[in-house]
Structure 1
Amino acid sequence: MARTAKKAPSAKTAFEELSRRGPHEVLHGDLSVVGLPGIVCTPRRGLGLPAVAFGHGWLQPPRRYLGLLRHLASWGIVVAAPATQLGAFASHRLFASDLRTALDVCVGVRLGEGEISVDEKRLGVAGHAMGGGCAVLAAAADERIRSVATLAAAETRPSAFEAAAHVRVPGLHLAAGEDLLAPPVSNAVPIARDWAGAVQLRTLRRASHLGFTEGKHWTQLVLHGKPQHATQRATKALLTAYFLSTLAGDRRGDALLTSDVGGAHIDREHSRGVITAA
């Protein structure tokens, strides 16, 4: 009797699965032991793993993204988040360099108890707001980087808009529909429009600028928005599906990446190509 082909999971099923914690036990540590302040989250063990450097938003400490970092690690992805350029006059150029240095650490240092290693051909960058713009700068300057994801990306100096035209790897950009600090039309849209590689722009319609962050912080008194569970859940599912596909060749979330789910609607006008292509 012929075997029945296994049916690929639906977008809804993929969303439900990937928005939950993955199968790996998670370790987290301090990057400062190797000379770069910040947080690193990893699976307990694994060789040749993918790694992502994550950039924080303006004035936001990396711990405000710890849930996202741990979530990605639970799905087998090493994530390093530098705790640099935290002041009001942050240097975008230097922060982009710090993201690249974080990838150097992931590749060059045996993490955990020597049971974790990273494949230098499976590197990505991501970031929120300022960190998203700096992730674009880093990708434009580093040919090792294979995929990019941004959350409410903001323009930078030097320009992330101009840098986007030089990034030929896949890009996933999540914009916040109610963002008053980095409105999509003047930030995420120009980045997606000028992207040289396959790109997808999505808008989380009810998300605010700080909706991607976690916990309480004094900046909620002066910046727009606050942490939003629905925004965080959609972000976890989409970034997990995206980085598993582009960095690990794991296609279980591909249906999610082509569908309007979790309140994250694809902007058909500014999306093109297949972002699941490694």
Structure 2
Amino acid sequence: MARTAKKIRSPKHALEQLSRRGPHDVLHGDPALVGLPGVLCTPRSGLGLPALAFGHGWLQPPRRYLGLLRHLASWGFVVVAPGTQRGPFASHRMFESDLRTALDIAIGARLGEGAISVDQRRLGAAGHAMGGGSAVLAAATDERIRAVATLAAAETHPPASDAAAQVRVPGLHLAAGNDLLAPAVANARPIAASWAGPVQLRTIKKASHLGFTEGRHWTELVLHGKGEYRTQRLAKGLLTAFFLRELAGDRRGEALLEQDVSGAAIDQEHTRAAA
């Protein structure tokens, strides 16, 4: 992954480029072979790659995020999404542990017949809804995690908003403007306000709670919303720009992260870690 890629000056153009598939061919499989069911996506080859653990939302299977996971892999990330804690009484604390195990697998498992390796200094966590809150819990307890992104983050037990006060690494939080299950004012906004490190909160206008998910699923009958192309496109572009910058030293998407973009204006931001 090039660390010297030329910056894209316009946030619109940065979104157009980074929401498209990246330069890497992608492999995917099931990490159940090494003890954790779910989805694993990697570039076909690459040494010293950054890696991400991704947490699914409440009752959602990891395959509902396969397009996002494959997209991030196409930009040079190894991504492991656990398929655990999918029942109605999911344990947030155990899911946090599973996300940390996902990073262990990324670092220690033999990937791509030995053609892939992960740099343990370049690890991140992300997730949707419950998975986003659990990613915050993981970052508060695992010093290996160097960046965190959440999509329509939901509160957890223990509270992600309390754990955020212990997270000193960069955070990007995307809220859904029409979210009836995890509205920003009760979830993403308190998490961002408590964040101890550099943080940015954006609200995607007209997005629903399930707008970040892909395909059809029975939970659309009981939860709010359904998959939305526009919401997914914004998430792909913003998360790619964020993790490229924070984990790969690639600042080509800087304009997208520093400026408003249509449909996802910056709501809240601070850049210095708390004393």
| Match among 251, 269, 272 for residue 270 of structure 2 | 272
Task: Report the CA distance between 1:7 and its aligned residue.
Answer: 7.0
Instruction: Give the TM-score, by structure 1 length.
Output: 0.95
Task: Report the CA distance between 1:64 and its aligned residue.
Answer: 0.1
1:175 is matched with 175
- In structure 2, relative to structure 1, the CA distance for the partners of 1:61 and 1:7 (3 Å cut) is closer
Q: Distance in 2 between matches of 1:12 and 1:89?
A: 41
* Cα deviations by residue, 1:129-155 (Å, 9 ceiling, x for unpaired): 000000000000000000000000000
1:225 is matched with 225
Listed as ranges, the matches of 1:67-216 within 5 Å are 67-216=67-216
Q: Distance in 2 between matches of 1:261 and 1:44?
A: 32
* Cα deviations by residue, 1:107-160 (Å, 9 ceiling, x for unpaired): 011211110000000000000000000000000000000000000000000110
Instruction: Give the TM-score, by structure 2 length.
Output: 0.96
1:3 is matched with none
- In structure 2, relative to structure 1, the CA distance for the partners of 1:99 and 1:220 (3 Å cut) is same
Q: Distance in 2 between matches of 1:250 and 1:274?
A: 21
Identical aligned residues as a percent? 74
Task: Report the CA distance between 1:274 and its aligned residue.
Answer: 7.2
**Residue 15 of structure 1 contacts residue 262 of structure 1 at CA under 8 Å; is this kept in 2?**
no
Please tell me the root mean square deviation across aligned C-alpha atoms, in Å.
1.2
* Cα deviations by residue, 1:163-215 (Å, 9 ceiling, x for unpaired): 00000000000000000000100000000000000000000011000000000
Q: Distance in 2 between matches of 1:191 and 1:235?
A: 18
Structure 1: stretches of 5+ with no match in the other structure: 1-5
* Cα deviations by residue, 1:215-274 (Å, 9 ceiling, x for unpaired): 00000000000100000000000000000000000000011001111411101xx31117
Paired residues, number:
268
Runs of 4+ in structure 1 over 6 Å off: none
Counterpart of 1:193, as a letter, is A
Task: Report the CA distance between 1:8 and its aligned residue.
Answer: 4.3
Counterpart of 2:206, as a letter, is R
